[in-house]
Amino acid sequence: MDLRFTDEERAFREEVRTWIDENLPAETRERMASGRTPTKAMQVDWQKRLYAKGWAVPHWPVEWGGQPWTAIKRFILSEEIQSTPAPSPLGFNANMLGPVLIAFGTDEQKKHFLPKIANLDLWFCQGFSEPGAGSDLASLKCAAKKDGDHYIVNGQKTWTTLAQHADWIFLLVRTDTGAAKQQEGISFLLADMTTPGITVRPIITIDGAHEVNEVFFDDVKVPVANLVGTENRGWDCAKFLLSNERTGQARVGASKERIRRLKLIARETPGGARPVMEDPRFRSRLTDVEVQLKALEMTTLRVLADENRALSQRKPNPASSVLKIRGTELQQAISELYVMAAGPYGLAAPDDPEASLRNEPAVAADWQTLAQATYFNWRKQSIYGGSTEIQKNIMAKAFLGL
């Protein structure tokens, strides 16, 4: 057992840090540092730079633009991106669809889509959830009927993140309504968002943001060539996709950056008799979150060391289930600390359009107006990607035999 990074790994971290410093546009850096998500243009520009450097999809096979790296090295890259902070490669492309195509796609699909996905020439969104299929994803109803060389898709997807930016969508559809189990009879399709019959309608979340959407399919023609894997075996792709990149879900690098920034902010924010940071109660809550984050960082490294092994030598590791549950809890806890630090000035909503029309100065600092909005927004984390409750169901079954 040796839990230290090697000299080579440390040198690589330095290399990454320097490269990001030299290549991340100032505008993007500024926006990310304020705690906002990148604009579409920023995301695309940054991912193209990463791809040119060979760093957009290091976990893919080398022939598709990956790197022959250890899991630790990949972790260092993603941690440095998160802690700058810079935009991470688009998850739908790099972590979800890419690996599915590599595992299940045809040669033509790989050749056509993988380079475009890695370079973000095509922005994909994910069409899984439906109004009646949330945690019980396999009960989905969006239907695809074969008609010659096409499927005709009818139905609705929801919670479709950034569908307003997307060029394409990967979606689960029901191709056989008579299957014995609901997991059977599902297929995995790729569809061009400009296809006639697709309508995107925004959903505004409680923080006022437009992040998620409803996507409607009305007699949408999808070429049969866009079926990934075997017809009616789409659930295999979905399971594979959901089990991928477990360590990414903890987002320890991003949380460490948020804490580092909060400490700086809280030192400069007046809190009555003393700066907020000098309030022993605030400070002790902050430290308590840091302690839990340290434990999560160690757990992440344990899972990584496990992912470094050959597939045949891997055992299911209960530590990996911890990552989603605790990782999201801690991100949420940090968002609460920002709300506490902002105090009364956290009441101001971000991006007041009236004020900006009148060209007035902001009533509160950027981070203060974002504090509550982020706190509201981040309640989503323990819901999406398999809610905390679903994670516990999985643990009870897979690891405890209950």
Partner 1 sequence: MDFDLSEDQRLLQDSLGKLLKDKYGFEQRKAYLKSETGWSREVWAAFAELGLLGMPFAEDDGGLGYGPVETMIVAEQMGRALTLEPFISTVVLGGGFLRHGATAEQRGALVPEIAAGNLLLAFAHTEPQSRFDLHDVATSARKDGAGWIIEGRKGVVVHGDTADQLVVTARVSGARRDAEGVEVFLVPANATGVARRGFRTSDGQRAADITFDNVKVGPDAQLKGGLALVGRVVDETIAALSAEAVGCMEAAKDLTVDYLKTRKQFGRAIGSFQSLQHRAAEMMVCLEQARSMAMLAAMMAGERDAAERLRNMRAVKIEIGRNARFVGQQTVQMHGGIAMTMEYAGGHYLKRLTVIENMFGDMDHHLAALSEEGGVFVAA
Catalytic residue annotation: 245
Q: Is position 302 an interface residue for partner 1 (rule: CB under 8 A)?
A: yes
Stretch that binds partner 1, among 87-95, 150-158, 216-224, 297-305 (CB under 8 A): 297-305
For partner 1, the closer of residues 147 and 288 by Cβ is: 288
Tell me the three-class secondary structure of 67-129, residue by residue.
CCCCHHHHHHHHHHHHHCCCCCCCHHHHHHHHHHHHHHCCHHHHHHHHHHHHCCCCCEEEECC
Half-sphere exposure of residue 36: CA atoms within 13 angstroms, side-chain side: 19
The residue within the footprint of partner 1, chosen from 246, 256, 348, 386 (CB under 8 A), is: 256
In the complex, the smallest distance separating the C-beta of residue 193 from partner 1, rounded to whole angstroms, is 38
Half-sphere exposure of residue 132: CA atoms within 13 angstroms, side-chain side: 6
Please name the residue ranges forming H helices in 34-70. Answer: 40-53
The residue within the footprint of partner 1, chosen from 20, 286, 334, 371 (CB under 8 A), is: 286
Q: Is position 238 an interface residue for partner 1 (rule: CB under 8 A)?
A: no
Between the alpha carbon of residue 62 and those of residues 135, 146, 342, the distances in Å are 35, 36, 46
In the complex, the smallest distance separating the C-beta of residue 140 from partner 1, rounded to whole angstroms, is 23
Q: Are 136 and 122 in contact (CB under 8 A)?
A: no
Q: Is position 258 an interface residue for partner 1 (rule: CB under 8 A)?
A: no
Helix (H, G, I), strand (E, B) or coil at 119: coil
Q: Is position 17 an interface residue for partner 1 (rule: CB under 8 A)?
A: no
* Amino acid identity at 301: L
CB atoms within 10 A of CB 128: 20
Q: Is position 341 an interface residue for partner 1 (rule: CB under 8 A)?
A: no
In the complex, the smallest distance separating the C-beta of residue 336 from partner 1, rounded to whole angstroms, is 17
Please give the torsion angle defined by the CA atoms of residues 134, 138, 141 and 143, in that order, rounded to the nearest 10 degrees.
130
Stretch that binds partner 1, among 41-49, 257-265, 356-364, 368-376 (CB under 8 A): 257-265
In the complex, the smallest distance separating the C-beta of residue 13 from partner 1, rounded to whole angstroms, is 11
Q: Is position 299 an interface residue for partner 1 (rule: CB under 8 A)?
A: yes
Q: Are 25 and 42 in contact (CB under 8 A)?
A: yes
Q: Is position 288 an interface residue for partner 1 (rule: CB under 8 A)?
A: yes
- CA 389, chain centre distance (Å): 19
Q: Is position 395 an interface residue for partner 1 (rule: CB under 8 A)?
A: yes
Q: Are 146 and 182 in contact (CB under 8 A)?
A: no
The residue within the footprint of partner 1, chosen from 295, 347, 355, 363 (CB under 8 A), is: 295
Q: Is position 315 an interface residue for partner 1 (rule: CB under 8 A)?
A: no
For partner 1, the closer of residues 2 and 63 by Cβ is: 2
Q: Are 247 and 237 in contact (CB under 8 A)?
A: no
Whether omega before 85 lies within 30 degrees of 0, making that bond cis, reads yes
- Residues in contact with partner 1 by CB under 8 A are 1-6, 9, 72, 256, 259-260, 263, 280, 283-284, 286-288, 290-296, 298-299, 301-302, 304-306, 318-319, 321-322, 325-326, 389, 391-393, 395-396, 399-402
